[in-house]
Each structure stands twice: as C-alpha cells, then as structure tokens.
Amino acid sequence: MSKIVYVLLAVAIPALAAEDAVLSTGFRMRVDRHEIQGDSVILYARGGVTELPASAIERFESVYVPPTETVSPAPASATQSQSEEPSHDPRVLLRDAANRSGLPPAFVESVAKVESSLRADTVSPKGAQGVMQLMPATARVLDADPADTAQNIDAGVRLLRDLLVRYDGDVVKALSAYNAGPDAVRRYGGVPPYPETQNYVDKVLRTYIGNGGR
C-alpha cells in the first residue's frame, strides 16, 4: 500500500452551499448551514442532515457562491417527460446520491469504479451486488433492493457517509470499513493487514486523485 494516509476531500456541491465544515482530520463537507446543539453540530446539505460531535469540527469557512446563469423554464411537456423517465445512468445516480449525502461526487464515483466499474450486473464471489457492491445482508439493513440500481447506489452512498461520520472524516478508516467491515477496523485500529483491503484503499484514493479530487 502507498504512503497516502489522508486525502483532503473538498465537497463540490454547487449553488446553495454557504460554508465548508472543516473537520479535525482535514476532511471538508460543503453544507448549506449548521446548527450547534450542545456537544453536537447538525450539518444541513442538499436536503440531507449529518450530526457530528462538536469536537470533530475544527472550524467553518464561508464560501463565495457565484451567481448562476438564469435559464428559461423548459416547456411543460419536456418537464413532464423528464419526471416520468428517471435516469438509469450510474454516474447521474451517483452524483445525485453524493449531493444528498454531502459527499464529493468524484470521490463517490471513485469508490463505485473500484467496486464494480460502474456495472449494475456485477456480482462478487462473496455475493456483493451491483454498482456499490452491497452484500444482501447490508442491503436489508439499509432497506434497499441491491438489484435496483438506484436503491443500490443510494444505500451504498449512505453507508459510505455514515462510515465517514463514524470515523470523524478519516477517509482511510471509512474505506477500510466499507471493504472489510467496521469490526476489522476496530480490531486492528485502522487499515486491516489484508492485502485486498490495503490495495482497495490505495486504488480508490489514486482513482480519486486521478479524477482531480473534486
């Protein structure tokens, strides 16, 4: 495994974001706003809500949001057609799920590329299914049908977000847990000594960096 330990993830969520929450690990989450409730901080981003210990956040930074170009409304028939035909493109579904969870779309797509090469029909020897390679038991816990691409992606991204929150933004631990499970991360205090997991973490980070880290 390379010596890459942390990657500073700048969440590229456009338009409504007003500040960056900078975690103690260097991880950034672009959010619309935040609220402090006792020892916790509630982060609101694109309709999603994430709760973190106040001690995990180093600071908030204001973000300048340039004005967006005004676009004429699409004809009613076109709008109706689009609403009736949701996208089945994994990249679109990944981007939308990433935005809902407040994660960098490029980071989420990097995980999906390493997991399944963005293929919905991929099944691992252990039984993991689809784009985000969900195990059937994991999918049940997340209340998702792993054979449904949209549900598979949404559940996988929610799991990834929850792991990042669980490890206070430690990307390496979160990726290790996504691959090998939280029990393995707890047992070894970090990346387990499994070549598969070490290679997995390294490959995801390299793919993300290759995508420009956006």
Distances (CA, A) of 62 to 4, 149, 168: 28, 36, 21
Q: Is 115 an annotated catalytic residue?
A: yes
Direct distance between the N- and C-terminal alpha carbons of the chain, in angstroms, rounded to an integer:
23
**Of 19, 69, 115, 196, which residue is the catalytic one?**
115
Q: Hey, what amino acid is at 6? A: Y
The set of residues, in sequence order, having a beta carbon less than 8 Å from that of 142 and lying 6+ positions away, is 134, 155, 158, 159
Distance CA 120, CA 150 (A): 10
Residue 43 has phi, psi (to 5 degrees) of -105, 130
SS3 per residue for 182-202: HHHHHHHCCCCCCHHHHHHHH
Q: Kindly state the tokens that stand for 148.
A: 């449904």
Give the active site residues. Answer: 115
